[in-house]
Amino acid sequence: MSPTAADVLGAGARLAAEAARFTALGWMRGTSGNLSEVVARDPLRLAVTASGLDKGELSAADMAVVGPHGEPVDIDGITPLKPSAEAGLHARVAALTGADAVVHVHTLSAVVAGLHWPGGVRLRDLETLKGIGRRAHDDEVVIPVIANSQDMAELGDRFEAAYDPATPAVIVASHGLYTWGATLLRARHVTECVEWLLAYKIATR
Amino acid sequence: MSPTAADVLGAGARLAAEAARFTALGWMRGTSGNLSEVVARDPLRLAVTASGLDKGELSAADMAVVGPHGEPVDIDGITPLKPSAEAGLHARVAALTGADAVVHVHTLSAVVAGLHWPGGVRLRDLETLKGIGRRAHDDEVVIPVIANSQDMAELGDRFEAAYDPATPAVIVASHGLYTWGATLLRARHVTECVEWLLAYKIATR
Amino acid sequence: MSPTAADVLGAGARLAAEAARFTALGWMRGTSGNLSEVVARDPLRLAVTASGLDKGELSAADMAVVGPHGEPVDIDGITPLKPSAEAGLHARVAALTGADAVVHVHTLSAVVAGLHWPGGVRLRDLETLKGIGRRAHDDEVVIPVIANSQDMAELGDRFEAAYDPATPAVIVASHGLYTWGATLLRARHVTECVEWLLAYKIATR
Amino acid sequence: MSPTAADVLGAGARLAAEAARFTALGWMRGTSGNLSEVVARDPLRLAVTASGLDKGELSAADMAVVGPHGEPVDIDGITPLKPSAEAGLHARVAALTGADAVVHVHTLSAVVAGLHWPGGVRLRDLETLKGIGRRAHDDEVVIPVIANSQDMAELGDRFEAAYDPATPAVIVASHGLYTWGATLLRARHVTECVEWLLAYKIATR
């Protein structure tokens, strides 16, 4: 079923508030990063924060609506906004993982970790791993690191090749971090835990 | 005497505000950590922040009430919430130390320090030691470090074995920090001073 | 055309809010830094944050108005305030670059980077470079570093000699950072991205 | 002339607001540090933040009033509060330097710098030195470092021996930082600039 304007604006209000929170943490500097929520499946529709705006000052209406390939989709009662190129990757992440919320932020830790461990960031025996759905003991976790690209199809292919259903995060080297969750709140918590883990890994290397 | 709903909600309001403060400092990322206040002794009853919620967005009612082994206790007028597994350790800390407030946070400094000094973090000749009840000169202070466990009885045994009545903090390696105080405000101040001391120790090693 | 008091106060309100934002980020410690907006061209007129005031507590009226050489200019209905010595450099940056907003902040990263790379800070293959108008791949970017001076004519000459139209930032060694943009919001975003890039460069050297 | 209750409460309101600001910066962790303003000279009287309270939650009345040796002084209409031991050092700093505001904070940078450079922290050729009343070029600045003591007379003697009228800051090793200024706002700005300078010095050693 097609999403309504109310569905999009409801998601938009949540996404705007969450983006302001991430901005205050310094994780969406400039106009970087974008957040999305699935507003319909079959066909897939996502509300995604619009391109080029300050992520600390979004309103509920500052959202693009896209389909499975990131293409803009018109919704009655919603002024269409241009999606960022990365909206297509959000859609692909949502389709692949089944997650209803996707977070993409430009955290310094993610890019530093991607440089230090281009083959993936290995983590184990840390309580905070429970915060991303893994075990605190005897569980080898690898946050995948994929090479950056401006070609979203290529980047999506790399994402799919690296994707591990047990690990809700992927680092894009020289770029930033993708995380996801069943809800936007869950994606927030995953993002915070991944950031903690990466900061720990960098501080103790 | 059994605590009343008002006792629990009063403690809950204080715990929620304090958790929001620690969250803003970045010390309760994801849904990590928990805070508690003793609401009765004989038998021991604690209000503990509920499991799985964002620690920056708790309300006074988002508290579990537990007994000496972390078991849930029903209170008239309070909707029972599931305590986290760690609630039993909070109760044991309160019983052992006599403290009426226990803080457990996942600070990066604590886990980094636990890795660097698995035998305990030695500190001396620092004015900030006065903030945890020790002397600023000629007083060798060791913050104990214990190994992590998912078995709360085992973790509690390690805590008791490591416990020094003169030092209101214990680091759980690969996990986080426990501190305590006569009041929640005192436990806040102890936590802040321990964090300062650990950051200093790490910065100057 | 000569700017009106309303032009100056409008710019002043934006500059005061932006300065408070930068102050909260710790980038305008003490009374350091200044922000400006062009309020007229032909002849050039800028509103510049006044000298010696706390940059977190400015009002819209705490602005000096200067001409192309940083000389104070009287505007009907505006109480004249003493411009800082650096106002002349702001005017020169606005004239040279065509930017309508200039940011000067004393960020630690800029001064640390200026010490490490006195010949310019080389950056390439980073997504955040797109935030300053460059490409994320195969584009060698150099943030120029110029020597500090108390003589604004000399500092301006160094600025002009180092200026690269493709790079909206210059580091003044032992001093701070200049950035600019078509609008104050754009200058904010450039400043944030440059800060991110410098922090990354320092963290990975 | 003896200060009135209004004088003390006026100073108290300013000191409480300033202490909350420093607390938010993380510079008064636990209950550490104290701020003071001179409320009378001849004889010297200071309002000083009271001992043992959270410095982020003071009210205008949470001030002790002391004389030249830190002894409590009764003021009509003011409930006497116990001054901290350090109040006597505040009074001595105010008498020696002529400053009407004294800041004492426990910043990590100050204690780290005191450890690295026990003979004093040498700084030169930095624009931010202008923020503490020095020159940005060819001016060798030394922030004195004195040994800590619990004996305020001894600490005061060390302060006087190290004091340089051209440098409005002294580091107490293993303890924290003292700064001062003609007004509390000026002392804030000096404190911020000293912190910037120490952070820079540590980051580039």
- Secondary structure (DSSP) of A173-185: TTTEEEEEESSHH
Check: complex ipTM more than 0.85: yes
Sign of the torsion formed by the C-alpha atoms of A142, A27, D26 and B12: negative
Can you give the pLDDT at residue B80?
A: 86
User: How many helices (H) and strands (E) are present in chain C, helices listed first?
Assistant: 5, 9
Can you give the pLDDT at residue D56?
A: 98
Q: Given a contact as 3+ CB pairs under 8 Å, which chains touch C?
A: A, D
- List the domain boundaries for chain B: 5-203
Per-residue pLDDT tens digits for B85-141? 899 999 999 999 999 999 999 999 999 999 999 999 999 999 999 999 999 999 999
Rounded mean pLDDT, B199-205: 98
Contacts of B196 in chain D (CB under 8 A): 29-30, 106, 108
User: Are B111 and A126 an interchain contact pair (Cβ–Cβ within 8 Å)?
Assistant: yes
pLDDT of C80 higher than 90 = no
Contacts of D127 in chain C (CB under 8 A): 32, 106, 148, 172, 174-176
User: Are C148 and D128 an interchain contact pair (Cβ–Cβ within 8 Å)?
Assistant: no
Q: How far is B21 from chain D (nearest CA, A)?
A: 11
Rounded mean pLDDT, D133-146: 97
**Scanning every residue of chain A, which has its alpha carbon at the shortest distance from the alpha carbon of C185?**
A54
Whether A41 contacts A100, CB under 8 Å = no
User: Are C200 and A108 an interchain contact pair (Cβ–Cβ within 8 Å)?
Assistant: yes
| Identity at D129, one-letter amino acid code | L
Contacts of C196 in chain A (CB under 8 A): 29-30, 106, 108
Return the exposure string of B83-117: e unless at least 16 CB atoms fall within 10 Å of the residue's CB, then b. bbebbbbbbbbbbebebbbbbbbbbbbbbbbbbeb
D to A contact (≥3 Cβ pairs closer than 8 Å): no
Give the Cα separation of C31 and C23 in Å (integer).
Answer: 9
Rounded mean pLDDT, A98-104: 98
Domain B5-203 CATH superfamily? Class II aldolase/adducin N-terminal domain (3.40.225.10)
pLDDT of D80 higher than 90 = no
Q: How does the average pLDDT of chain C come out, rounded?
A: 97
Residues 6+ apart with CB under 8 A from D60: D9, D10, D12, D13, D15, D16
User: Are A176 and C137 an interchain contact pair (Cβ–Cβ within 8 Å)?
Assistant: no
| Identity at D159, one-letter amino acid code | F
Can you give the pLDDT at residue D20?
A: 98
pLDDT of D118 higher than 90 = yes
Rounded mean pLDDT, D135-162: 97
| Identity at C189, one-letter amino acid code | H
Residues 6+ apart with CB under 8 A from B26: none
Per-residue pLDDT tens digits for B129-180? 999 999 999 999 999 999 999 999 999 999 999 999 999 999 999 999 999 9
Best of B22, B53, B150, B174 to substitute, by most chain A Cβ atoms within 10 angstroms, is B174
Per-residue pLDDT tens digits for A54-75? 999 999 999 999 999 999 999 9
Can you give the pLDDT at residue C162?
A: 98
pLDDT of A1 higher than 90 = no
Per-residue pLDDT tens digits for D4-62? 999 999 999 999 999 999 999 999 999 999 999 999 999 999 999 999 999 999 999 99
Nearest to C173 by CA among A95, D204, A173: D204
Q: How far is C19 from chain D (nearest CA, A)?
A: 15
Omega of the bond prior to A43 within 30 degrees of 0, cis?
yes
The strand pairing partners of B40, in sequence order, are: B45
Q: How far is D34 from chain B (nearest CA, A)?
A: 14
Alpha helices in D25-127 (DSSP H): 87-97, 108-116
Whether D170 contacts D162, CB under 8 Å = yes
Q: How far is C51 from chain A (nearest CA, A)?
A: 27
Can you give the pLDDT at residue A77?
A: 94
Residues 6+ apart with CB under 8 A from C101: C35, C36, C37, C38, C180, C181, C182, C183, C184, C186, C187
Rounded mean pLDDT, A168-179: 98
Give the Cα separation of B115 and A205 in Å (integer).
Answer: 11
Per-residue pLDDT tens digits for C35-55? 999 999 999 999 999 999 999
**A80 pLDDT tier (thresholds 50, 70, 90):** confident
Contacts of C174 in chain D (CB under 8 A): 125-127, 136
Q: Given a contact as 3+ CB pairs under 8 Å, which chains touch A?
A: B, C
Question: Where is the binding site for Zn(2+), in residues of A?
Answer: 104, 106
Whether B56 contacts B28, CB under 8 Å = yes
Can you give the pLDDT at residue B156?
A: 97
Q: How does the average pLDDT of chain B come out, rounded?
A: 97
Contacts of B188 in chain D (CB under 8 A): 54
Best of C174, C177, C205 to substitute, by most chain D Cβ atoms within 10 angstroms, is C174
pLDDT of A191 higher than 90 = yes
**Scanning every residue of chain A, which has its alpha carbon at the shortest distance from the alpha carbon of C198?**
A108
CA-angle at C51, arms to C163 and D186, nearest 5°: 125
Contacts of B200 in chain D (CB under 8 A): 108, 111-112
Q: Measure the N-to-C terminal CA separation of chain D; round to a whole number of Å.
A: 50
Rounded mean pLDDT, D156-171: 98
User: How many helices (H) and strands (E) are present in chain B, helices listed first?
Assistant: 5, 9
Can you give the pLDDT at residue C205?
A: 96
pLDDT of C199 higher than 80 = yes
- Range with the poorest average pLDDT among A78-87, B17-26, B97-106, D59-68: A78-87
**Scanning every residue of chain D, which has its alpha carbon at the shortest distance from the alpha carbon of C199?**
D203
Can you give the pLDDT at residue D49?
A: 97
Per-residue pLDDT tens digits for C117-141? 999 999 999 999 999 999 999 999 9
| Identity at D142, one-letter amino acid code | V
pLDDT of D1 higher than 80 = no
Q: What is the pTM of this model?
A: 0.98
**A98 pLDDT tier (thresholds 50, 70, 90):** very high
**Scanning every residue of chain D, which has its alpha carbon at the shortest distance from the alpha carbon of B186?**
D30
Q: How far is C130 from chain A (nearest CA, A)?
A: 9
User: Are A200 and B106 an interchain contact pair (Cβ–Cβ within 8 Å)?
Assistant: no
**Scanning every residue of chain B, which has its alpha carbon at the shortest distance from the alpha carbon of A186?**
B30
